[in-house]
Amino acid sequence: MPFQQVSLEMLYRGLYHFTVAHHKGLTDHPVNYFAAPENQDLGVIKRLRKRRQIEFVSVSEADLTFEPWA
C-alpha cells in the first residue's frame, strides 16, 4: 500500500482507540489493529477518489481577438 494512502491525522486520532483496546487486552500490535476489517471505520486508509475529467473547450481564432480601449 502506498504511503500516500495513509491519513496521518486519522492515524494519530486512532492511536487513542488502539490504546484503549490495548489496555483491555484486545490487541497488542498497532499495525494489526488498524489493518483489521472491524477497524476500517477509523479512516486510517484514504478512500480512492475518481479522477476529475477535464473538459476541453473548442476556441476559434475569432474568440481570441483583443480590442484595446480607446
Q: Where are the domains of the chain?
A: 3-59
Name the strand (E) or helix (H) holding 15.
Answer: helix 8-23
pLDDT score, position 21: 96
Neighbours of 56 (CB within 10 A): 5
| Cα gap 13→33, rounded to integer Å | 13
Report the percent of the chain where pLDDT is more than 70.
97
User: What residues pair up with 6 in beta bridges, in sequence order?
Assistant: 45
Q: Write down the pTM of the prediction.
A: 0.60
Q: Residue 50's pLDDT band (boundaries 50, 70, 90)?
A: confident
How do residues 15-47 score in pLDDT, each as one tens digit?
Answer: 999 999 999 999 999 989 988 999 888 888 887
| Cα gap 10→56, rounded to integer Å | 37
